[in-house]
Structure 1
């Protein structure tokens, strides 16, 4: 089927006892490329045709793939393409931020099926978690209302919230200390009966970009997320990199001047929280997103002055990211309105010289990604789907 573009896929293995890994390889190939024939899958994954046929039959039986109508090209034999069944699996994504929470249900290919949101109080995790459990129950009822069997196909709950995680107790409001010290994952698991995973918000945003955004099909990308705080989601060798403690990419904590009195972290100067402070806005206000969008479209002088200052600091962060990670591209993502994000992107140019400043490039050094305020919740939902279906070396070890 793919006569021109190369098929993106990891290699399977024809060794005995590796069927779990090979299933994941096949699912990922279909997710990345769309419909493929058995011959396409065999060539791309380096599995035998018999192994591919066996796995395809298993996936069909499990309701994860479906055969499409046979296709004939030229004088050759007709072939049957296969695609993923979106309704084959579902997951719930939960974003917890300083003043709000968002919950989504997505299907196997990342389409949002249901969503809900509510306000949160920064220092009150107990009532906040009860509100979250209510939202989760609401979207599960909505999913079950579409089809009773869909709710039974939930593979887990992914949670995204600001990091860093696991540090010593702090009264730094940027780190949501009350929520950090609360038994969040245990409470959510007990209240939902689902497997629960946690990642920082930038990692979730990078996951969303990898599935349906600017990082789709890119093996080396860094998503620079500008929200209430700032962090970077790292896609290295085609996989999300979280670091040893789940804190990789916490660039918002990087100091803009030598440590000591007066030293300032990046996110204290270039995040949306700093913009709210600059404009005298309450981040809990309803309609804040629309108000910021209107100010940006009008090029309000107060917004422009913040953009110019923030862009200078973010330009330095791009230089740092390029120097350390050598990505194919840096993707600016944000929970800000698109008009504001575009002003920021424009003001960050020209970029500083770096090792990424090469004459021949397929992708721009810096590009705009998602400004959808729901992107982090969608990325959080992708985590349990990835855990269940993406190829990992651990799948080979478990099979052995």
Structure 2
């Protein structure tokens, strides 16, 4: 019988998908723990010894894994721990922000090998795209010098920029970056670079960096609270970013906290953000010496009033995120000076009461992450690595499963490399 209504069903699994998932699981175990023996991998993953041996052989043949010298632990044959090869894969990350663009090249272990940045030209994004394309080209040239042959193992390009995405055009709103939001940027970057391009918002990118090699390393269920020019959050559920139906989950900076202490009814990020602090202090967010000026403001006490107001809103944000999501922890980091992030973190404590504050917690409710203006670009570079190698539900479904990063409306251009 033919019906006009779409059939609703989950995708089934096939053997190829299960094998791909198992390979990703083995790679993640090596990324999180470092070198492990095949026996340790089998015990940790629940896979059979033969399955692990087959996967390790495949990964070794692909240049992603290598064996260390034999180690005798007990009676019997010495074990040969295996580990990931940093030079086994590379990726490029691009950050587009209101005043600057940054490009990073990273290896399989998340080490950033090349960093380039430039001011983002004011005006039409086409001019800015030309600047970005040249930065990417320069990054690839330098990467080839740092690691000859890296171009052949380049997975793709990750793009990070402020969200939310997919909103109706609203003139040329500088805060929302409307001029950039309404351009086919992914298609343009893919055409200019010849690489597969995936997009995240800036909070998701910073969270990806923090999970690859930071405070969230090895965590599967956490929230990353990102403080930058604006304020955002990234939600990790079972090791995957939850993007929402339209890729805009976590836009907590857009919340209107009518019940928060001192609330004015404006979105939280109009106060609790780098832009809000700069407006309060009369500083230019695009000034080259901005971080030094903010350090001085924190040290002198001239930022104290803002710190108290922002901390009150952020305490409310943390309590809401904990109540809704029950995370292992909330990681707090961003593209701000370490002195500023630390001062805010101290003023957010003690947190508001929440049901997650129970006996026997293994992690604090609020974990201090990194403060680094390059966090977003590093996370953007980590996205193609995560997309290709991290365990995902889509990996155990039939080929063609959608990315968990952007949901069903993901917009990706270029030839996607063969995924494990």
TM-score scaled by length of structure 2: 0.87
Q: Distance in 2 between matches of 1:148 and 1:357?
A: 50
Q: Residues 338 and 371 of structure 1 are in contact (CA less than 8 Å); yes or no, is this contact kept in structure 2?
A: yes
Q: Distance in 1 between matches of 2:147 and 2:313?
A: 49
Q: Residues 18 and 399 of structure 1 are in contact (CA less than 8 Å); yes or no, is this contact kept in structure 2?
A: no
Could you say what secondary structure the match of 2:370 adopts? coil
Q: Residues 159 and 199 of structure 2 are in contact (CA less than 8 Å); yes or no, is this contact kept in structure 1?
A: yes
Aligned to 1:161: 161
Q: Which runs of 4+ in 1 moved over 3 A?
A: 13-18
CA offset digits 1:324-383 (Å, max 9, x no partner): 111111111121111111111111122111112223322111121010111111111111
Q: Residues 208 and 382 of structure 1 are in contact (CA less than 8 Å); yes or no, is this contact kept in structure 2?
A: yes
Q: Residues 158 and 381 of structure 1 are in contact (CA less than 8 Å); yes or no, is this contact kept in structure 2?
A: yes
Q: Distance in 2 between matches of 1:102 and 1:17?
A: 35
Aligned to 1:128: 128
Aligned to 1:7: none
The answer to which of 94-103 and 25-34 deviates more is 25-34
Q: Residues 252 and 267 of structure 1 are in contact (CA less than 8 Å); yes or no, is this contact kept in structure 2?
A: yes
Is residue 2:288 matched to residue 1:286? yes
Pairwise CA RMSD? 1.8
Which residue among 276, 287, 293 is the counterpart of 1:274?
276
Aligned to 2:239: 238
Q: Residues 239 and 391 of structure 2 are in contact (CA less than 8 Å); yes or no, is this contact kept in structure 1?
A: no
Shift of 1:122: 5.0
Shift of 1:17: 6.6
Aligned to 1:83: 83
CA offset digits 1:218-243 (Å, max 9, x no partner): 22211111111000011122222212
Q: Residues 105 and 139 of structure 2 are in contact (CA less than 8 Å); yes or no, is this contact kept in structure 1?
A: yes
- Gaps (5+ residues) in structure 1? 1-12
The answer to which of 101-110 and 324-333 deviates more is 324-333
Is residue 2:213 matched to residue 1:212? yes
Q: Residues 240 and 392 of structure 2 are in contact (CA less than 8 Å); yes or no, is this contact kept in structure 1?
A: no
Q: Distance in 2 between matches of 1:304 and 1:80?
A: 55
Alignment of 1:1-400 (within 5 A): 18-121=18-121, 123-171=123-171, 172-257=173-258, 263-296=265-298, 298=299, 300-398=300-398
Q: Residues 23 and 55 of structure 2 are in contact (CA less than 8 Å); yes or no, is this contact kept in structure 1?
A: yes
CA offset digits 1:80-132 (Å, max 9, x no partner): 10000000000001111110111100000100110100111354311111101
Could you say what secondary structure the match of 2:155 adopts? strand
Shift of 1:184: 0.5
CA offset digits 1:39-92 (Å, max 9, x no partner): 122222222222222221111111000010000013332111000000000000
Aligned residue pair count? 383
Could you say what secondary structure the match of 2:157 adopts? strand
Q: Distance in 2 between matches of 1:388 and 1:156?
A: 10
Could you say what secondary structure the match of 2:218 adopts? coil
Q: Distance in 1 between matches of 2:221 and 2:391?
A: 17
Q: Residues 95 and 380 of structure 1 are in contact (CA less than 8 Å); yes or no, is this contact kept in structure 2?
A: yes
Could you say what secondary structure the match of 2:305 adopts? helix
Could you say what secondary structure the match of 2:313 adopts? helix
Cα distance change of structure 1 residues 109 and 185 upon mapping to structure 2, 3 Å threshold: same
CA offset digits 1:152-185 (Å, max 9, x no partner): 1100100111000001112443210000011100
Q: Distance in 2 between matches of 1:17 and 1:220?
A: 23
Aligned to 2:10: none
Cα distance change of structure 1 residues 16 and 303 upon mapping to structure 2, 3 Å threshold: closer
Could you say what secondary structure the match of 1:174 adopts? coil
Q: Residues 60 and 66 of structure 2 are in contact (CA less than 8 Å); yes or no, is this contact kept in structure 1?
A: yes
Q: Distance in 2 between matches of 1:389 and 1:16?
A: 15
Shift of 1:14: 11
Indicate the structure whose relative CO is greater, using CA pairs within 8 Å and at least 6 residues apart.
2
Could you say what secondary structure the match of 1:359 adopts? coil
Cα distance change of structure 1 residues 255 and 122 upon mapping to structure 2, 3 Å threshold: farther
Q: Residues 122 and 178 of structure 1 are in contact (CA less than 8 Å); yes or no, is this contact kept in structure 2?
A: no
